[in-house]
A and B are shown apart, each in its own frame.
Chain A
């Protein structure tokens, strides 16, 4: 049940977490690109100097002196043409500093001493190639990945259960034809069709959901059919029929509820498959598109930057793998718990 706790933890973190990390997932800090993971406050000494140089350049001013006093910086700016006070807005705009306060005006505006509060930013998992907080992005990406995993599995579950229960309950020729159709679909190189669909018609979340659900309902249909075949000869089904319940009623009220055990196991193991397929497609650039992001997208970004910034691969990959492992273990545990023969 540790697996379930991990799952709930990840899901809650993805839902609520982005509000607590202190960063907007889209907010880029151009001065803090590809920061490694760490708990130190940013900007640290190594990043502060270059960031200030860049800002001074943009303000068309010289950086004559920098003094640090706790969380406040004393900057002495100079310019032959006079420091333009309006250009001070660049300081807060960089998101690294607070509002500047002018302390001293030298040589009629050619020198300016300002006090700027230094902000303390935290990037526990580092930043990505554009300087966005990776933790926030991993959590926001998790929302999409988990939502697709759950929604697609639900669609596949509904199709599979309805199809399998109908085929199994009707039996005979209808069953043979319906399951033969499933066999034919099994033989299709479906992943190839999904790729084709997404390449040809601009990829969208809905299209991806439909495409993945169209692949993944087959297992469910087989499981439910096998269960139904044994259920339909049972006495309570005969009793229902004797009481005049119609075929749809029997399937909905008596067959489907009794298949729920194996269905729950199959569905739990379906979710990681769907998430894996989604991140695989997103990795190829065919799935989730910017500005939305998913774990697959982040892993793809990380794989591209793996030499310079290995944390960019590690962070989303750990989220993805932890989720998949937890789902697989939970599914196994569920199967063992529901299997009366388990030792």
Chain B
């Protein structure tokens, strides 16, 4: 098990290196720079700024020193937020995105798996048929349509909840963004659970359990353990994308999370901020995929042998 984890972590290094390299050179190839203002700076001032941030050196040298700093855990200073390091900004944005993402994940998985199980147990029932359409519908509702509609309904008309903003993470500010983030995933998870549990319920061991007269609830519990495998595998990348924030949701609800820092950083050519956020997302994707694989191995002993 330890060897499996170590091997996966070792595999993550080239992936992260690829992420750093691609995003670094992609940004430097792009026209425009971090100090392009509406009123152009005096050439001497521009020269000084570029020297301070090391942008006057050859590209390869810059890349080398970025990697060296990265190895020490330093993501560099932000170009657009004065006197702040990228680590500071991430430390400020990540809790926001992570809170939203974690709540959305809990909501989506509990609701999605619950609905999926209920549909699988009563195949062809009203809920099952409703879920067929409902899953396709929630999957097809873009967050940028849902978010304004929720704002109109609960923010403007009913005045139950604030329209936007963070306000230190007050619960009332979390409700609408979390629902927006979770909604499309409820359908996806319900469908996945339904299909997977439906398949397990048709297998021989389950029939045997039933024929031996085990109570239906116990049978379902046994079947669920196997049926959750694909769901857990799906939750890994899903968690990563939810935790690192949806760019759209953070933009619409005006939340100071990672996704917004990323878009602002890209628009301002804030090289280090963009690199930092991309790297963070990539690292989280890898870590959560690994976590999902470990959870699968815990659920299914056969996978442990393979690993």
Chain A residues proximal to chain B, CB less than 8 Å: 184, 186-189, 191-193, 195-197, 199-201, 272, 276, 279-280, 283-284, 296, 299-300, 302-303, 306-307, 310, 313, 317, 320-321, 324-325, 327-329, 332, 343
Do A307 and B156 touch across chains, with their CB atoms under 8 A apart? yes
**Chain A residues, Cβ within 8 Å of B262:** 192, 195
Q: Does B145 reach chain A (CB closer than 8 Å)? A: yes
Cβ of B32 < 8 Å from any Cβ of A?
Answer: yes
Asked if B142 contacts A189 (CB within 8 A), the reply is no
Chain A residues with CB below 8 A from B149, complex form:
313
**B26 in contact with A276 (CB, 8 Å):** no
Please name 15 further chain A to chain B contacts, defined as beta carbons within 8 Å, in addition to the given A187-B289, A324-B142, sorted by A numbering: A184-B15, A187-B15, A188-B282, A188-B285, A189-B281, A189-B282, A193-B26, A196-B27, A196-B274, A196-B278, A200-B26, A299-B145, A317-B142, A321-B141, A327-B140
The reply to whether B136 and A328 form a contact with Cβ atoms under 8 Å apart is: yes
Q: Which residues of B contact A296 (CB under 8 A)?
A: 144
Contacting pair A200 B140 (CB below 8 A): no
5 closest A-B pairs by beta carbon, nearest first, are A200-B30, A324-B140, A328-B136, A189-B281, A303-B148
Q: Annotate B240-278 by CB proximity to A: 1 below 8 A, 0 otherwise.
A: 000010011001100000000011001100000010011
Within 8 Å CB of B19, what residues of A?
A: 188-189
Query: Can you name 13 A-B residue pairings with CB atoms under 8 Å?
Result: A188-B15, A192-B277, A192-B278, A193-B26, A196-B26, A196-B274, A200-B32, A201-B30, A272-B140, A276-B140, A303-B144, A307-B156, A317-B145
Question: In the complex the two chains form, what is the Cα distance from A284 to B267 in whole Å?
Answer: 12
| Alpha-carbon distance A192/B136, docked complex (angstroms) | 26
**Is B164 an interface residue, CB under 8 A from the partner?**
no
A187 & B286 in contact (Cβ 8 Å cutoff): yes
Contacts of A200 in B (CB 8 A): 26-27, 29-32, 266
- Please give, as numbers and ranges, the residues of chain B lying within 8 Å of A299 by CB-CB distance: 142, 144-145
Bound Cα distance from A306 to B149, whole angstroms: 9
**A143: shortest Cβ distance to chain B, in Å?**
19
Contact check, A325 vs B136: say whether CB atoms are below 8 A apart.
yes
Q: How many residues of B contact A (CB 8 A)?
A: 48
Shortest Cβ distance from residue A338 to the other chain B in the assembled complex, whole angstroms = 15
A325 to B32, CA, bound (A): 40
With the chains together, A276 CA to B136 CA distance in Å?
A: 13
CB-defined contacts of B263 to chain A, threshold 8 Å: 195, 284
Q: Report how far A283 CA is from B263 CA in the complex, Å.
A: 13
Complex Cα distance, B281 from A199, in Å, reads: 19
Kindly provide the distance from the CB of B245 to the nearest chain A CB, expressed in whole angstroms.
11
B61 interfacial by beta-carbon distance below 8 Å:
no
B23 in the interface (beta carbon within 8 A): yes
B130-156 residues with Cβ-Cβ distance < 8 A to A are 132-133, 136-137, 139-142, 144-145, 147-149, 151-152, 156
How far does the alpha carbon of A324 sit from the alpha carbon of B29 in the complex, in Å?
36
Chain B residues near A284 (CB-CB < 8 A): 247-248, 251, 263
Measuring CB to CB, which residues of chain B are less than 8 angstroms from any residue of chain A?
A: 12, 14-15, 18-19, 22-23, 26-27, 29-32, 123, 132-133, 136-137, 139-142, 144-145, 147-149, 151-152, 156, 237, 244, 247-248, 251-252, 262-263, 266-267, 274, 277-278, 281-282, 285-286, 289
Nearest chain A residue, comparing its CB with the CB of B149 = A313
A306-B148 contact, Cβ under 8 Å, with A192-B278, A199-B267: yes
Q: Are A283 and B140 in contact (CB under 8 A)?
A: no
Are A332's CB and B132's CB within 8 A?
yes
Q: Quick one: given A184-B18, A187-B15, A283-B248, are A276 and B266 in contact (CB under 8 Å)?
A: no
Contact between A303 and B140 (Cβ–Cβ < 8 Å)?
A: no
Residues in A with CB closer than 8 Å to B123 are: 343
Which chain B positions have C-beta within 8 A of A327?
140
Which residues of A have CB within 8 Å of B247? 191, 195, 284
Residues of chain B with a CB closer than 8 A to A329's CB: 133, 136
Q: Which residues of B contact A332 (CB under 8 A)?
A: 132, 136
Contact, CB under 8 Å: A280 / B139? no
Contact B23–A303 (Cβ < 8 Å): no
Residues of chain A within 8 A (CB-CB) of B133 are 329
Known A-B contacts A306-B148, A307-B156, A320-B145; the reply to A192 vs B252 at CB < 8 A is no
B30 CB contacts on chain A under 8 angstroms: 199-201
Establish whether residues A276 and B248, one from each chain, have CB atoms under 8 Å apart when the complex forms.
Answer: no
| Chain B residues, CB < 8 A from A187 | 12, 15, 282, 285-286, 289
**A249 CB, min distance to chain B CBs, angstroms:** 34
- Write out the residue numbers on chain A whose beta carbons fall within 8 Å of the beta carbon of B132: 332
Determine the distance from Cα of A188 to Cα of B278 in the docked complex, in whole angstroms: 9
Minimum C-beta distance from A194 to chain B (A): 11
* Chain A residues with CB below 8 A from B285, complex form: 187-189
In the assembled complex, how far is the CB of residue B196 from the closest CB belonging to chain A, in whole angstroms? 13
Complex interface: chain A residues within 8 A of B139 (CB): 272, 324, 328
| Separation of A272 and B139 alpha carbons in the complex (Å) | 9
Q: Is the CB of B281 within 8 A of A321?
A: no
Given A200-B26, A200-B266, A284-B251, verify A188-B140 contact (CB < 8 Å).
no
If A184-B14, A188-B282, A199-B267 touch, whether A280 touches B142 (CB-CB below 8 Å) is yes
Chain B residues near A195 (CB, 8 Å)? 247, 262-263, 266
A167 to chain B, nearest CB (A): 18
- Could you tell me the distance between the alpha carbons of A310 and B152 in the complex, rounded to whole angstroms? 9
Residues of B within 8 A of A201 (CB): 30-31
A313 and B148 contact, Cβ closer than 8 Å, known pairs A188-B15, A325-B136: yes
Contact among A192, A306, A324, A343 for B152, CB-based, below 8 A: A306
With beta carbons under 8 angstroms apart, the residue of B140, B145, B266 that contacts A196 is B266
B12 closest partner in A (C-beta): A187
Chain A positions within 8 Å of B147 at CB level: 303
B178 to chain A, nearest CB (A): 19
